[in-house]
């Protein structure tokens, strides 16, 4: 059930209240509406009989919300404005006291569900500022509840599915998926997207019924033993995400077709060229291979340098012979001439005398 009876938790134990006020509430099980004091705490609507009650009588989990639509049917109160909440298990109708109050409720509900301020509503700057604060507070609250589990599971899921992602995957939210299929109905009516919890995936489909769009959302979870499961009344097991898409296409006899946003690529180069006689015309470039670009020849590498012999220094052509004072014998040494035509002189050193013999 979308709405449940009181769970015994008092108001002071509820999450932070972002917005509150009286609403006429009617679930798909109720026969008549009830005027209840409504508080948006976290991503849950809590309903009280009056403003002073501590125990809520019902609550509505907004994580099961599919979409919001305005109910244009007339009410006995001409200033009242009705709103329909399309939940996974039925519709819930609420009535705000005025059009402005309905826009505010829609804005705050979208803020906690999508974690972003909706741009399609007619809001004042101060109201937009309050919703931005609501988004920041709700993000911080969810991080406090599971500071690492959600981020890690979302990151691990994405990294492990990069190579297994079908072509109809779109990184959009539930509302954006509906808008995408509505705007580009000629490109398919089935896409797969991340789920809100970050740990699973979801398939969104769109079909026409009596002139209006009908959207359906199916949760796809990853099994612990491998593969995936389409969470319907009787779960359907699939080996890969591609098998999930093929299963939905086969079971609907091809009524559902994968959404492919990217169109085919051109096979030739075309351009518009102005012509004085015929005006502008579309020209096609012939697919002729481009001539190879000539590569300039590299200069030859320099060879090894010739080794220049180093001139040797001229050595002494004469050798001096020294005799000690106590040596009595004279030793004579003949030197080889440097040139055959010249004979160098022979030198002897005697005590206290120096003799040169030519």
pLDDT for residue 333 is more than 50: no
For residues 4 and 355, which has the higher predicted lDDT (pLDDT)?
355
- Which residue do the tokens 């990217």 mark? 262
The answer to whether residue 341 scores a pLDDT higher than 70 is: no
Range of the structural domain that residue 126 is part of: 11-145
Residues 27 and 109 in one domain: yes
pLDDT at 151 over 50: no
Last residue of a domain, one of 201, 223, 252: 252
User: Are 92 and 130 contained in the same domain?
Assistant: yes
Looking at the structure of the chain, the number of domains it has is 2
Residue 316 and residue 188: Cα distance in Å, rounded?
105
How do strand 353-357 and strand 279-284 relate by DSSP bridges? unpaired
CA distances from 289 to 268, 292, 293 (A): 13, 9, 12
What whole-number percentage of the chain has pLDDT above 90?
Answer: 24
Task: Please identify, among 194, 217, 252, the residue that sits at the C-terminal boundary of a domain.
Answer: 252
User: Domain for residue 287, yes or no?
Assistant: no
**pLDDT at position 290:** 65
Residue count of the chain, please give it.
Answer: 358
Report whether 270 contacts 280 (CB < 8 A). Answer: no
Is the pLDDT assigned to residue 326 strictly greater than 60? no
Domain CATH number, residue 185:
3.30.505.10
Q: Tell me: the pLDDT tens digits for 158-216?
A: 434 445 688 899 888 888 899 999 999 999 999 999 887 667 889 999 999 988 999 99
Query: 98, 129, 145: which is the final residue of a domain?
Result: 145
Q: Judge if 108 and 182 occupy the same domain.
A: no
Backbone angles phi, psi at 130, to 5 degrees: -65, -40
For residues 142 and 255, the model is more confident at 255
Average pLDDT estimate for 78-101: 85
Residue 268 has pLDDT above 90, yes or no: no
151 or 212, greater pLDDT: 212
CATH code of the domain in which 120 resides? 2.30.29.30
Binning pLDDT at 50, 70 and 90, where does residue 356 land? low
Please say whether the beta carbons of 133 and 139 come within 8 A: no
Residue 347 is assigned to a structural domain of this protein:
no
In angstroms, what CA-CA distances link 53 with 36, 50, 196, 291?
11, 6, 32, 85
Tell me the C-alpha distance between 247 and 306, whole Å: 81
Within a 10 A sphere around the Cβ of 244, how many other Cβ atoms? 23
């Amino acid at each position: 059930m979308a709405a449940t009876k009181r769970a015994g938790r008092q108001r002071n134990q509820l999450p932070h209240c972002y917005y509150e006020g009286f609403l006429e509430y009617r679930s798909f099980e109720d026969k008549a509406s009830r005027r209840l004091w409504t508080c948006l705490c976290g991503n849950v609507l809590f309903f009280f009989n009056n403003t002073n009650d501590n125990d809520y009588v019902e609550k509505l989990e907004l994580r099961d919300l599919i979409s919001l639509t305005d109910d244009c049917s007339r009410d006995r109160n001409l200033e009242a404005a009705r709103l329909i909440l399309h939940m996974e298990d039925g519709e819930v109708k609420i009535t705000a006291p005025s059009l402005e109050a309905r826009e505010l409720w829609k804005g705050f509900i979208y803020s906690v569900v999508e974690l972003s301020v909706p741009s399609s509503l007619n809001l004042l700057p101060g109201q937009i500022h309050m919703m931005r604060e609501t988004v920041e507070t709700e993000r911080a609250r969810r991080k406090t509840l599971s500071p690492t589990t959600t981020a890690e599971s979302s990151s691990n899921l994405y990294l492990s599915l990069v190579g297994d992602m079908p072509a109809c995957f779109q990184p959009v939210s539930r509302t954006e998926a509906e808008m995408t299929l509505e705007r580009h109905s000629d490109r398919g009516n089935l896409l797969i997207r991340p789920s809100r919890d970050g740990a699973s995936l979801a398939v969104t489909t769109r079909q026409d019924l009596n002139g209006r769009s009908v959207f359906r959302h199916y949760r796809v979870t990853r099994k612990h033993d491998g593969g995936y499961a389409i969470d319907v009344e009787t779960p359907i097991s699939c080996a890969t995400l591609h098998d999930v898409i093929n299963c939905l296409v086969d079971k609907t006899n091809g009524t559902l077709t994968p959404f492919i946003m990217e169109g085919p690529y051109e096979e030739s180069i075309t351009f518009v060229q102005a012509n004085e006689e015929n005006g502008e015309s579309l020209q096609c470039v012939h697919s002729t291979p481009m001539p190879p670009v000539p590569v300039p020849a590299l200069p030859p590498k320099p060879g090894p340098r010739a080794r220049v012999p180093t001139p040797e220094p001229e050595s002494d052509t004469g050798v001096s012979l020294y005799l000690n004072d106590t040596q009595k014998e004279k030793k004579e040494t003949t030197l080889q001439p440097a040139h055959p035509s010249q004979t160098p002189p022979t030198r002897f050193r005697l005590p206290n005398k120096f003799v040169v013999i030519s």
